[in-house]
Amino acid sequence: MSYFPLFWVDSVALIVGNHSGTHKAQIGEVGLAHGGILFFDELPHFSKTVLEALREPLEDRHIRISRVNTKVTYDANFLFVGAMNPCPCGNLFSTTTACRCSDLEINRYKSRLSDPFLDRIDLYVQMHAVSAEDKPSVTSHQLHKKVREAFLRQKERGQRSLNGALSDAEIAQYCPLNPETQQVIDQAIGRFGLSFRAVSRVLKVARTIADIESSRDIGKAHLLEALSYRKR
């Protein structure tokens, strides 16, 4: 796993690769993360140039490095994870510490992440402070078993790719909707202004939720849960 706090690196050349006219193109950390995890901590504090440069690998799973007379393409199929505070001071959702940020500061902080960049992220999970009463709902062993079974179901359907990497044609084949679930997605498109990309990602997440719950078909509950993970 590649892990990048803001203070370590905030350079397009180091993250994406060498874009200069040197004799040999230099692969960046995005290419080096191929087959692994790329984790950006304090996400909104990275430069806009770096964040926007991630749009290509997040969408196409490869990165192109332009040189003087040619272009070099590297595979970049990685799991991207980003972490951020709810506000600049980090206390917006705290039940014990007051937030010191104004509405303007909070909006400016969140606006550092563009909608096209956010549209390429499948899951948004809001974390809350841990309390002494919190207990896990499943054990690690139970969770491992569910994930393994979901993986096997995808293989048994004859998929060449796992759910997260399905093409548009494969989504139509493996993520069919009945009239009830189609109505749910149609309403969501109108209410949340979902793009074609967002709808595709919602369907892939819903397909995975259905697999985890041992369901052959995508049900209304699976689709609603997938929609709850979208940025709103």
The answer to whether residues 7 and 46 touch, using CB atoms and an 8 Å cutoff, is no
Q: For residue range 15-51, list pLDDT tens digits in order.
A: 887 755 555 667 888 888 999 999 999 999 998 989 9
Which one, of 53, 56, 55, lies nearest residue 12 by Cα?
53
DSSP states along the chain: -EEE-TTT---HHHHTB--S--SS--B-HHHHTTTSEEEESSGGGS-HHHHHHTHHHHHHSEEEEE-SS-EEEEE---EEEE---SSSSS-TT-SSS-----HHHHHHHHTTS-HHHHTT-----------TT---SS-HHHHHHHHHHHHHHHHHTT-SS-GGG--HHHHHHHS---HHHHHHHHHHHHHH---HHHHHHHHHHHHHHHHHTT-SS--HHHHHHHHHTS--
The domain limits of the chain are 2-118, 140-228
Please write the tens of the pLDDT for every residue from 164-189: 999 999 999 999 999 999 999 999 99
- Alpha-carbon distance of 55 to 115, in angstroms, equals 11
Q: Which fold has domain 2-118?
A: Rossmann fold (3.40.50)
Tens-place pLDDT, residues 54-106: 999 999 999 887 766 777 888 999 999 999 999 999 999 888 899 999 999 99
The pLDDT mean for the chain works out to 88
Note the pTM of the prediction, 2 decimals.
0.85
Q: What is the pLDDT of residue 194?
A: 92
Confidence tier at 1 by pLDDT (50, 70, 90)? low
